[in-house]
Amino acid sequence: MSTPAPLPRTTLEAMRSKGFLWSSWPWRGLGHLAGTMVMGPLAVLLLAPFSVPLIMLGEHVEALARGEPQGAWTLAALLLFGAVLLLLGGPFVALVVAPIERWRLRLVHPPIDHGHRATGPGLWHRARVRYTEAATWREFAYLLLLVLLLDNLTWALLFLFPVMGLFLVVSPLIPLFGETVTLGWWHFEDPLTALPLVAPGVLLLLLTPYVCTPAAGVHALVARVLLGGRGETEELRSELVEVTRSRARLVDAFETERRRIERDLHDGAQQQLISLAMRLDLARMDAPPGSGMERTLSEVHGQAKEIIGSLREIVHGIHPKVLSDRGLAAALPELADRSPVPTRVRVDLPRRPPAHLESAAYYVAAESLTNVAKHAGATEVRLNTRLEEDILVLETIDDGRGGADPAGGTGLTGLADRVTVVGGRILLSSPPGGPTRLRAEFPCPPSE
């Protein structure tokens, strides 16, 4: 059973859906634009009392353009007074217009929040809160945009397409009432001569949904940015910050647990195995030479030594003691010595990075060398570590076959996740034929 497609929520989604022309969206877009033609003049009417000085200024400027002398101080005073009056009264008008615009927006866009803060009692307190919050000034910017641009564009668009299209379609009927159809220099006095106007009129009407609906969608996007509240964005940002902090806490807890396991293995199980190996060696020395017991004890003693060696490798891989004691400058050369692929190390660290960055960088280096040994077929690896201003950079460059792919199960995704947790990033260049260059960058400001 197929799942029905989700209903479009915006004009852009609606235009990409099937049956757009037969849906309600063209009418909704047309209705939104028609509402803009009403709201524009209404906003001008509400702003008029606060725009009188600017209107007078415009008249003085026109007179100056005609060559009539005007006082410079008068022009400056009108400009200053008009700007102050508009800035004082304009936000108040915006607070009246914005709720209506958000309500109109529901025709072509999901509902949006206003983003205003709650206010306490008292007219002065409410005014102070509203005039000092960003949401009010965004609404004021939208109001100016509506008056100066959006309303004019809407009038032009509606006149050019649906109005002109309808006029051309009915133009052959106009001469029947004794009127003349006039289009610029052309005059049509009878229905037959006006008949060719029907075709372009039909074309304009057919184009109307495909022009007016996206225009309403663009208007909706502008309104969403300027009239929509930032609460959802702030909440999402807070959640992302909390997720990042939670991941950092998990990494810290993981590092703490790794060091505890390392300490328990080193001081507990490893010491007990060493003691057992010594006892086996003493028992072997006490056994009759050449006897079956001596051979058995020798075999068990050899196996115990192998287990001790394996355990030491495990302990060293969890968190090498040299990394805690002496840092990356000492731990990376030791790591390179144990690599099956010859590795050249270069460390340039004028200061020691924080412990969590050292641990992450060491992990990246260890995993990178392991990947090179398993998958690259390389004969040499270069391992470079340095500080570039406030960035700790660790690079591995091998001369292998290249073609490394994070989706290929080589552990690169795990490396990227590990680096991302501490705020870093992984860059990989691995063209077919090599060389492969893996670069890990960790933010490391001096304050840390």
For position 266, what pLDDT does the model report?
A: 56
- pLDDT value of residue 313: 56
Q: What CATH homologous superfamily does 323-443 map to?
A: Histidine kinase-like ATPase, C-terminal domain (3.30.565.10)
Q: Rounded to an integer, what distance in angstroms lies between the CA atom of residue 229 and that of residue 134?
A: 10
> Strand 343-348 vs strand 425-429: parallel, antiparallel, or unpaired?
unpaired
Assess whether pLDDT exceeds 70 at residue 404.
yes
- For residues 86 and 51, is the Cβ–Cβ distance under 8 A? yes
Q: What backbone phi and psi angles, to 5 degrees, belong to 348?
A: -130, 85
The separation between CA 424 and the C-alpha centre of its own chain, rounded to angstroms, equals: 16
Query: What are the start-end ranges of the H helices in 133-267?
Result: 134-145, 151-158, 164-170, 191-194, 198-227, 231-264
CB atoms within 10 A of CB 4: 6
pLDDT at 2: 41
Task: Report, as an integer, the average pLDDT of 94-119.
Answer: 83
**Strand 186-188 and strand 181-183: pairing?**
antiparallel
Element housing 393 (H / E)? strand 391-398
pLDDT higher than threshold 70 for residue 207: yes
Q: What is the dihedral of CA 30, 33, 37, 42, to 10 degrees?
A: 130
Which tokens belong to 78?
């009108």
Give the Å distances, CA to CA, from 201 to 52, 160, 183, 250: 42, 10, 13, 67
Averaged over 228-251, what is the pLDDT? Answer: 57
Query: How do beta strands 391-398 and 343-348 pair?
Result: unpaired
pLDDT of residue 280 exceeding 70: no
**Helix H or strand E segment including 89:** helix 72-105
> Which strands sit side by side in the sheet containing 343-348, from one edge to the other?
343-348, 381-388, 391-398, 436-443, 425-429
Q: What percent of the chain has pLDDT over 70?
A: 70
pTM over 0.85: no
Whether residue 225 has pLDDT greater than 50 = yes
- Long-range contact list for 88-93, CB < 8 A, 24+ apart? 88/50, 89/47, 89/49, 89/50, 90/47, 90/50, 90/140, 90/143, 90/144, 91/130, 91/131, 91/136, 91/137, 91/139, 91/140, 93/43, 93/46, 93/47, 93/50, 93/143
Contact 339, 309 (CB under 8 A): no
Helical spans, DSSP H, in 106-158 = 123-132, 134-145, 151-158
Model pLDDT, residue 231: 45
Cis peptide before 435 (omega within 30 of 0): yes
What SS3 class is residue 339? coil
Q: Which residue has the higher pLDDT, 65 or 169?
A: 169
